[in-house]
């Protein structure tokens, strides 16, 4: 069984995001970029499945500029077998990404797509669900445990009230949650081996996907700075401030 794992190039989670002066977006020039943390979890899970003998091949896919090859190389160093770069300089929206993944899934015929539940740049939490809908596959979102048994997978999902375990038929789209695993660090020998692993390059147009955006960003602004707290003398003063200043009661 093949597993397809999308990996997104995002601003590193340790970097403080800065808004552009014109408010058109966030600054990405000369900013450290890395793999989306939830996608790291997805790669780790796919590699563990391969090590367990459940999966034969792990394919890492990234949709973005030429520099996104670095993100694919990171996935290859973690244990993925080969990579596919869908090269585009446009900032694709979740629907366009899902269409690209559908085209690649139709071509590669994987048994499973493991997608990070969301990217830390736009926090859309849409791509996995849209991809499953376009493919007509089963979907299991917010996964914390994945067990494959024959042509079915048992997935434990993190829901508001606790945990939900479902059984789905392969092929399936799974979105990984934080507690699915802890990604490994790529060793130096594996980083060197990753340089020799193949990366195929295509484009949205070659996949028959129109990357034109459907949404327009009107303005991006930083959240207001948090005001300092104050001390009150007694309960009466607290209630007065909550009623007259904060106006929450």
Q: How far apart are CA 60 and CA 199, in angstroms?
A: 9
Mean pLDDT of 161-166: 93
pLDDT tens, residue by residue, 184-194: 998 999 999 99
- Reference 5, options 53, 40, 50, 34; nearest CA is 40
Residue 24 has what pLDDT?
84
Residue 204 has what pLDDT?
95
Place 223 in a pLDDT band, splitting at 50, 70 and 90. Answer: confident
Residue 12 lies in a domain: yes
Residue 15 lies in a domain: yes
Place 127 in a pLDDT band, splitting at 50, 70 and 90. Answer: very high
Helix axes 37-51, 68-78, angle to 10 degrees: 30
Q: Choose the most confident range, by mean pLDDT, from 24-28, 112-116, 225-229.
A: 112-116
pLDDT tens, residue by residue, 17-62: 889 888 888 888 889 999 999 999 999 999 999 999 999 999 999 9
Place 229 in a pLDDT band, splitting at 50, 70 and 90. Answer: confident
Tell me the average pLDDT of the chain: 93
pLDDT tens, residue by residue, 144-159: 999 999 999 999 999 9
Is the distance from CB of 197 to CB of 81 less than 8 angstroms?
A: yes
Residue 90 lies in a domain: yes
Residue 95 lies in a domain: yes
CB neighbours of residue 237 within 10 Å: 12
Whether pLDDT at 222 is above 90: no
Whether pLDDT at 5 is above 90: yes
Residue 100 lies in a domain: yes
DSSP states of 78-127:
HT--EEEEEE-SS---HHHHHHHHHHHHHHH--SEEEEES--TTT----H
Is the distance from CB of 231 to CB of 115 less than 8 angstroms?
A: no
Whether pLDDT at 138 is above 90: yes
How many domains is the chain built from? 1
Residue 249 lies in a domain: no
Residue 224 lies in a domain: yes
- Under 8 Å CB-to-CB from 65, ≥6 apart: which residues? 9, 87, 88, 89
Residue 84 lies in a domain: yes
Q: How far apart are CA 121 and CA 27, in angstroms?
A: 12
DSSP states of 126-183:
-HHHHHHHHHT-EEEEEEEEEEEETTEEEEEEEETTEEEEEEEESSEEEEE-GGG--P
Residue 247 has what pLDDT?
85
Mean pLDDT of 109-128: 94
Whether pLDDT at 246 is above 90: no
CATH number for position 204: 3.40.50.620
Mean pLDDT of 124-138: 96
Is the distance from CB of 244 to CB of 234 less than 8 angstroms?
A: no
For the chain, how many residues are written? 249
* Domain ranges, residue 190: 2-244
């Amino acid at each position: 069984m093949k597993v397809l794992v999308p990996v997104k190039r995002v601003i590193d989670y340790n970097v403080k995001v800065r808004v552009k002066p014109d408010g058109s977006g966030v600054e990405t020039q000369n900013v450290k970029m890395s793999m989306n943390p939830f996608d790291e979890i997805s790669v780790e899970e796919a590699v563990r499945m391969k090590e367990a003998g459940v999966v034969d091949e792990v394919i890492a896919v990234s949709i973005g500029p030429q520099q996104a090859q670095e993100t694919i190389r990171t996935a290859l160093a973690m244990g993925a077998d080969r990579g596919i770069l869908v090269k585009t300089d446009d900032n694709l929206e979740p629907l366009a990404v899902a269409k690209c993944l559908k085209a690649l899934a139709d071509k590669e015929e994987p048994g499973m797509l493991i997608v990070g539940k969301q990217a830390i740049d736009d926090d859309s939490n849409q791509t996995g669900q849209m991809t499953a809908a376009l493919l007509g596959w089963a979907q299991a979102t917010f996964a914390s445990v994945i067990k494959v048994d024959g042509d079915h997978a048992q997935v434990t999902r993190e829901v508001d009230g606790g945990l939900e375990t479902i059984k789905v038929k392969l092929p399936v789209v799974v979105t990984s949650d934080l507690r699915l695993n802890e990604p490994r660090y790529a060793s130096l020998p594996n980083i060197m081996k990753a340089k020799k692993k193949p990366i195929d390059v295509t484009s949205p147009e070659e996949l028959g996907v129109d990357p034109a955006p459907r949404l327009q960003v009107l303005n991006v602004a930083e959240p207001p700075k948090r005001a300092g707290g104050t001390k009150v003398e007694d309960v009466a003063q607290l209630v007065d401030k909550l009623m007259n200043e904060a106006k929450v009661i």
